[in-house]
Amino acid sequence: MNSLALFQAALQSSSRPAIIDRQGAYSYNELLQQAAEVRQTLLNDKSDLREARVAFLIEPGFEYAAVQWGIWQAGGIATPLGLKHPTPELEHVLQDADVSTIVVQPSLKERVASIALKHRCRLLDTQEIAAQATKQPATTQLTTNITPDRRAMILYTSGSTGRPKGVVTTHANILAQIDALVDAWNWHFDDHILHVLPMHHIHGIINVLGCAMRVGGVCEFLPSFNAQDVWSRFARGGLSLFMAVPTIYAKLIAAWEQASPATQKEWSAGAQKLRLMVSGSAALPIPTLETWESITGQRLLERYGMTEIGMALSNPLDGVRRAGHVGKPLPQVKVQRTNEAGEVVDDKTPGEIEVQGPNVFQAYWGQSEVTTASFRNGWFRTGDVAVVDQGDYRILGRNSVDIIKTGGYKISALEIEDVLRTHPQIQDCAVVGIPDEEWGERVAVNVVCPDGKTLTLEPLRAWCKERLAAYKAPSLLKVSEQLPRNAMGKVQKPQIRALFSPSPPPN
């Protein structure tokens, strides 16, 4: 296997369109050309970046892909930054990954200029790269000697403790994650996918952009998610694939329900023409699956995966896609379920999903003990519990109470609590996830205020958004005199969840 296998289809498809974004359409040749320029500027007379971390803050689209490829071709580790992340979160990544260079679009330079200076990162904007680089043949990068076992990417993901952890994948891991999906979902060079997902998360990076580029297909980006724009794009035709999180499907359904009958007809007819629509990153509520099928004729394919492993389980491309189930292991991915003692359990017994295979990440960046603890007997422990029902996996939830899934994002309650505790009107707090049909879960907080003070939701949300990504800001608040704790002083989260649950109907 060649570490640059991802670029092979690009070379063979050179004149074909690769990416469409709001600036226009770009061929594979242009993508390779621009990646070669990024590589040349990053290398700056060196022959290999030797796994230096290169962070990048770039809107989804052609420049994003060119910078990602340029970093890989220069031998760096690509570390995407979240566009909506506030400064403290960006800074955490720069510091934790010891980033040497940040590549940024000119319009976003202001967002990182001061932290780049503080952390002594070289700051390069994409316009400077274009101006500085000498035009090179698109094939130059194939002369690199990067081997598949070299580290390629760090994605930051929330764990059950503290700040987000950096998940490190090698070129071989990335290729294995992509190839499992290319194989299972029959990706082909004439595929054309619509991309509406963030580009600092595995879903958008691997499942959508990565797969499309691997087969020489077309990846079309919408600048940001907007339900009307997505429906209009379906109606214009020419797409074959769409992938999104359950929250996006819920928003599309809500927009469709508000449209006129003529518009509904046009939108539905457009969506019907795609060959495959996929949902994942959080549990797909059965009513969403059913409503989507009734308005588009598309039975969503639900799959299960994680930043650390790529995708592991998938419903079939051809065959029955059972509601509430995430299907079977993907090609080359080994999956088992175990009890606390690490013994494999029978189908009906809930067990923790463990995964093995070339798709499994290498390590958490700079956290060897956490990495070791996340494996047992060579299997990665996902923390998700499932049963198997006639061969298909059904996810029951996480075995940790402190991970919240909201709108397709996975966030740590503890991380939010740490930030909230710095609020002058918060003495103590506990964050929990509350089940919600639209978001999967909503972030709820129970706070204790110091004497005579109180808090209301909207000002608290505004305060949070200056310090945390917006989706981490609590959308439910309860003020109490004290938090329920057990004899060991541990907060009792089930009791806190109950505070937010609707009261039972009167008899």
Binding residues vs ligand AMP (CB under 6 A): 157, 202, 280-283, 302, 304-307, 326, 382, 384, 395, 398, 405, 410
Instruction: Work out how close the CB of 249 gets to ligand AMP at its nearest, in angstroms, rounded to a whole number.
Output: 12
Q: From the CB of 65, what's the least distance to ligand AMP, in Å?
A: 21
Which residue number, 394 or 478, has a Cβ lying nearer to ligand AMP? Answer: 394
Asked whether 463 and 446 are in contact (CB, 8 A), the reply is no
Q: Which is nearer to ligand AMP, 182 or 202 (CB)?
A: 202
Distances (CA, A) of 26 to 18, 39, 66, 188: 6, 18, 11, 19
Q: Cβ of residue 88: shortest distance to ligand AMP, in angstroms?
A: 20
For the CB of residue 263, give the shortest distance to ligand AMP in the complex, in Å: 30
Q: Give residue for tokens 């063979």.
A: 12
Select 213 or 243, whichever has its Cβ closest to ligand AMP. 243
Nearest to 381 by CA among 354, 347, 409, 348: 354
Report d(CA 122, CA 402) in Å as an integer.
36
Q: Which is nearer to ligand AMP, 411 or 464 (by Cβ)?
A: 411
Residue 422 CB, shortest distance to ligand AMP, in Å, is: 25
Q: What are phi and psi of 218, to 5 degrees?
A: -115, 130
Residue 301 CB, shortest distance to ligand AMP, in Å, is: 10
Residue placing its CB nearer to ligand AMP in the complex, 122 or 394: 394
**Cβ 199 to ligand AMP, closest distance in Å?**
14
Distance (Å) of CA 467 to CA 362, 438, 442, 463, 471: 30, 25, 18, 7, 11
Q: Minimum CB separation from ligand AMP for residue 147, in Å?
A: 26
| CB nearer to ligand AMP: pick between 148 and 327 | 327
Task: Tell me which H or E stretch contains 478.
Answer: strand 476-480
Phi, then psi, of 311 in degrees rounded to 5? -95, 145
DSSP states along 217-276: -EEEE-SS--HHHHHHHHHH----EEEE-HHHHHHHHHHHHHS-HHHHHHHHHHHHT-SE
| Residue number, 97 or 447, with CB nearest to ligand AMP | 97
Query: With the C-alpha atoms ordered 255, 256, 262, 266, is the resulting torsion angle positive or negative?
Result: positive
CA distance 100 to 71: 12
Taking the CA atoms of residue 198, residue 200, residue 201 and residue 203 in that order, the dihedral angle to the nearest 10 degrees is 50
Identify the burial level of 378 via C-beta atoms within 10 angstroms of its C-beta, where 0-12 means exposed, 13-18 middle and 19 or more buried.
exposed
Specify the residue, 119 or 203, whose C-beta has the smaller distance to ligand AMP.
203
CB 367, min distance to ligand AMP, A: 16
Which stretches within 119-169 are classed as H helix?
126-132
Nearer to ligand AMP, 96 or 308 (CB): 308
Minimum separation from the CB atom of position 38 to ligand AMP (A): 27
In sequence order, which residues have a C-beta less than 8 Å from that of residue 128 and are 6 or more positions away? 41
The residue (of 126 and 382) whose beta carbon lies closer to ligand AMP is 382
Q: What is the DSSP letter of 504?
A: P
